[in-house]
Amino acid sequence: MSAAECQRGKMAALRAGLLTRALTKGKTPAISNIILGTRAASGPSKDTLPGAYPRSPEEMAAAAKKYNMTLEDYKPYPNDGMGYGDYPMLPERSQQERDPWYQWDHPDLRRNWGEPMHWDFDMYIRNRVDTSPSPVEWRTMRNQLLGFVGFMLLMFGLGEMFPCYQPVAPKQYPYSDLYLERGGDPAKEPEPVKNYEI
Amino acid sequence: MANYKEAPLATRPKTLDPAEYFNLSPDYRRAEEKRAALRAQLKRQYLEQLNNPHRKELIEDPALTRWTYARTNNNYFRPTAKTSLIGGLFGVLPLFVLYVVFKTDRDKREAKIKAGTYERPYKLST
């Protein structure tokens, strides 16, 4: 009941504000004024949306309750101005790692309704980044790959700098160096070209 | 299930983790019970809405709303040393670095063309 009264009161105040502003200034106020003044009550209320970094234990408890997490699990991101606010820091695990046989509410996302979403949820969906275990340790894989690629780059680079191939001579053509084929005058006698030595 | 071996490229499910069954302190159990209670409440809310025969609209997920709001509205960004450094490194520095790189490369090429020593790399006509 009190929420409805509050809403009606806010709407009345908004209408009154707009009316007075329109009457006094002679033109309707800018959109930004309307937006900053009041917000429509049809969307989520301010206490269910993410807020600022929690400072006191009460704020931590309230934030944990808001995000449907237990107080022990709820850990906000460090407050270094990167823009996280009080959003919880969940373990960096992709959705691929979750149990495929459990009856999730959203089976393709492997997520239940109301469960707190990781900040990088759209990265950790099953089509994208996957943190599930690999057959060999990541470090070994990375070292082997970089070692192989680096070695091949090195060898190709060396090959460019110091080319080594069989000794070659310029190509020898018959018929006086292809005199007629190269557009020589058929009436004139070409000079003889000797490509051999006996 | 005692000798369960997980699939080669999968993590072990939590319910089959041996740590769940041995050496459990009361604190751990209480925490797990709280988590399970929260999960059960959420599940119940969802299923009530899902199986409600009079429901006509989409089931709205507040966690999704919060996530979207947090990601799109950067209300809590603050210019600090770290954020300014990152911003400068990724936003301002590339402009200058790329300008310098491209300018020097093009000036060198222009000088070569003027001197007549430039060899066109992909020249098609002989």
- The whole-number average pLDDT for the span A111-136 is 91
Judge whether A120 lies within some domain.
no
Instruction: Decide which of A129 and B125 is more confident.
Output: A129
- Between A36-40, A123-127, A130-134, B8-12, the lowest mean confidence (pLDDT) is in A36-40
pLDDT category of residue A27 using cuts at 50, 70 and 90: very low
Instruction: Kindly state whether B21 is in contact with chain A, defined as any CB-CB distance less than 8 angstroms.
Output: no
- The whole-number average pLDDT for the span A162-170 is 86
* Rounded Cα distance, B70 and B76, in Å: 9
Look at chain A and report how many structural domains it folds into. 2
Mean per-residue pLDDT of chain B: 90
* Rounded Cα distance, B82 and A80, in Å: 8
Per-residue pLDDT at A28: 47
Per-residue pLDDT at A12: 53
Q: Is the pLDDT of residue A3 over 70?
A: no
Judge whether A124 lies within some domain.
no
- The whole-number average pLDDT for the span A119-124 is 95
Residue ranges of B 23-52 with Cβ closer than 8 A to chain A: 31, 34-35, 38-39, 42-43, 45-46
Per-residue pLDDT at A34: 52
* Rounded Cα distance, B107 and B102, in Å: 8
Beta bridge partners of A111: A106
The contacts of residue A59 (CB under 8 Å, 6+ apart) are A86
Instruction: Kindly state whether B65 is in contact with chain A, defined as any CB-CB distance less than 8 angstroms.
Output: yes
Query: What is the CB-side half-sphere exposure of residue B9 using CA atoms within 13 A?
Result: 7
The contacts of residue A122 (CB under 8 Å, 6+ apart) are A128
The number of helix segments (H) and strand segments (E) in chain B equals 4, 0
SS3 B77: strand
pLDDT category of residue A22 using cuts at 50, 70 and 90: very low
Q: Is the pLDDT of residue B63 over 70?
A: yes
Mean per-residue pLDDT of chain A: 81
Instruction: Decide which of B7 and B71 is more confident.
Output: B71
Instruction: Kindly state whether B66 is in contact with chain A, defined as any CB-CB distance less than 8 angstroms.
Output: yes
The contacts of residue A81 (CB under 8 Å, 6+ apart) are B76, B77, B78, B79, B80, B82, B83
Angle CA(A171)–CA(A176)–CA(A180) in degrees, nearest 5? 110
- Reference B14, options A97, A131, A123, A75; nearest CA is A97
Per-residue pLDDT at A14: 53
Judge whether A52 lies within some domain.
no
**Residue written as token pair 């988590």:** B35
Judge whether A68 lies within some domain.
no
| DSSP secondary structure letter of residue A136 | S
Per the structure block, which two tokens stand in for A165?
A: 């191939």
Judge whether A158 lies within some domain.
yes
Domain extent, residue A144, equals: 136-182
- The whole-number average pLDDT for the span B3-31 is 80
Closest CA of chain B from A197, distance in Å: 34
Instruction: Kindly state whether A137 is in contact with chain B, defined as any CB-CB distance less than 8 angstroms.
Output: no
Q: Is the pLDDT of residue A94 over 70?
A: yes
Q: Is the pLDDT of residue B23 over 80?
A: no
Per the structure block, which two tokens stand in for B98?
A: 């790329």
Q: Is the pLDDT of residue B124 over 70?
A: yes
Closest CA of chain B from A121, distance in Å: 9
H/E segment holding residue A171: none
- The whole-number average pLDDT for the span B42-70 is 94
Judge whether A70 lies within some domain.
no
Per-residue pLDDT at A190: 77
User: Considering all CA atoms of chain A, what is the largest pairwise distance in Å, rounded to the nearest integer?
Assistant: 117
pLDDT category of residue A15 using cuts at 50, 70 and 90: low
- Between A16-25, A114-123, A189-198, B84-93, the lowest mean confidence (pLDDT) is in A16-25
Is the distance from CB of A112 to CB of A105 less than 8 angstroms? yes
- The whole-number average pLDDT for the span B27-42 is 93
Give the percent of chain A with pLDDT over 90. Answer: 45
Judge whether A104 lies within some domain.
no
**Which residue type, as a one-letter code, is found at position B6?**
E
Per the structure block, which two tokens stand in for A55?
A: 């400072």
Long-range CB contact pairs, A123-131, < 8 A, 24+: A124/A92, A124/A93, A124/A94, A124/A95, A125/A94, A125/A95, A126/A94, A126/A95, A126/A96, A128/A94, A129/A94, A130/A94, A130/A96, A130/A97, A131/A92, A131/A93, A131/A94, A131/A96, A131/A97
* Rounded Cα distance, B83 and A83, in Å: 10
Per-residue pLDDT at A7: 53
pLDDT category of residue A18 using cuts at 50, 70 and 90: low
Cβ contact A48–B38 (<8 Å): no
Q: Is the pLDDT of residue A26 over 90?
A: no
Per the structure block, which two tokens stand in for A142?
A: 């990375």
- The whole-number average pLDDT for the span A96-107 is 90
Judge whether A108 lies within some domain.
no
Give the percent of chain A with pLDDT over 70. Answer: 80
Residue B83 has a CB neighbour count (10 Å cut-off) of 15
Per-residue pLDDT at A24: 46
Per-residue pLDDT at A183: 74
